[in-house]
């Protein structure tokens, strides 16, 4: 049997909804692991990434750690996929882009309702926030964009199976209409 494909996934500035959607492939995950094995991923809880065939990124780029993880993924993955609205265009977190970072932090940690001991955190353990939230293709080259908020389990399944089989990726209409 041929060597299995290696797949890594990560959620940057997202809500984990896309990862929940990956789980919505349900029992088909058993078929998937026949041909692929997961490397770094919340599914395996492996924290560092090795060389992989496919990297799947959920979420946009909002802080220094997101940048670091994303650059690592790009370095180690032959094919990198932006999955879901946040990875593709920043999504909901990018709504903060119409305010300055200072306004956002003050609203959350100083002026917000019910804030106790108001202060903006300065702990070195906390990843530094970028001025704006960016889609991932502004930081690294992206090979495929899989839209949806989130893409359904079926859409992810179609995408992965066709990608792995080396076919042109085509979706049935129901899998990519969002109205």
Partner 1 sequence: MSIDTYIDEITAATRNRPDYLLQNLYEIQYQYSYVSDQAIKLLAEKLALSESFIVGVIGFYSFLHTTPRGRFDILISDSITDHMLGSRGLLDTLCNKLGVALGQPRADGRVTVDTTSCTGMCEQGPAMLVNGWTVTRLDQNRIEQIVELIEADTAVEEWPQEFLTVDDNIQRRDILLSDNSNAGDALKALIEQGDEAILQQIESSGLRGRGGAGFRTGMKWRFCKQADADQHYVVCNADEGEPGTFKDRVLLNSYADKVFEGMTLCAGIIGATKGYVYLRAEYRYLRAPLEQVLRKRRETGLLGTDILGKQGFNFDIEIHMGAGAYICGEESSLIESLEGKRGIPRIRPPFPVTHGYLNKPTVVNNVETFMAAALIAVHGANWFGSVGTEESSGTKLLSISGDCERPGIYEYPFGASMQHILQDCGATDAQAVQVAGAAGATLPAAEFNRCIAFEDVATGGSFMVFNQHRDMLDMVRNFAHFFVHESCGFCTPCRVGCSLMKDLVDKVYTGHAGQYDLDEMHKIGELMLKSSHCGLGTTAPNPMLDTLNKFPQIYNERLKHSSYEPSFDLDAALQDARDITGRDDAGAHIGTES
Q: Which residues bind partner 1 (CB under 8 A)?
A: 64, 67-68, 71, 100-102, 105, 120-122, 124, 127-132, 134, 138-141
Do β-strands 52-58 and 129-134 pair in parallel, antiparallel, or remain unpaired?
unpaired
Residue corresponding to tokens 């956002």: 104
Nearest distance in Å: CB 69, partner 1: 12
User: Quick check: 57 and 12 in contact, CB under 8 A?
Assistant: yes
Nearest distance in Å: CB 74, partner 1: 8
Nearest distance in Å: CB 42, partner 1: 22
DSSP per residue over 52-90, as a string? EEEEEEESBEEEHHHHHHHHHHHHHEEEEEEEHHHHHH-
């Amino acid at each position: 049997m041929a060597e299995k494909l290696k797949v890594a996934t990560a959620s940057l500035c997202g809500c984990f909804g896309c990862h929940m959607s990956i789980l919505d492939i349900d029992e088909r995950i058993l078929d998937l692991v026949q041909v692929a094995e997961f490397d770094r991923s919340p599914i395996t809880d492996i924290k560092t990434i090795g060389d992989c065939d496919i990297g799947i990124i959920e979420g946009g780029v909002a802080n220094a750690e997101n940048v670091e993880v994303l650059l690592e993924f790009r370095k180690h993955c032959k094919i990198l996929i932006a999955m879901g609205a946040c990875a593709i265009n920043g999504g909901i977190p990018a709504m903060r882009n119409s305010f300055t970072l200072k306004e956002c932090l003050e609203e959350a940690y100083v002026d917000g309702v019910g804030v106790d001991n108001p202060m903006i955190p300065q702990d070195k353990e906390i990843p530094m926030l970028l001025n704006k939230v960016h889609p991932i293709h502004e930081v690294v080259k992206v090979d495929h964009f899989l839209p949806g908020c989130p893409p359904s389990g079926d859409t992810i399944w179609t995408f992965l199976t066709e990608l792995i089989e080396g076919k042109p990726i085509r979706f049935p209409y129901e899998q990519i209409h969002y109205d």
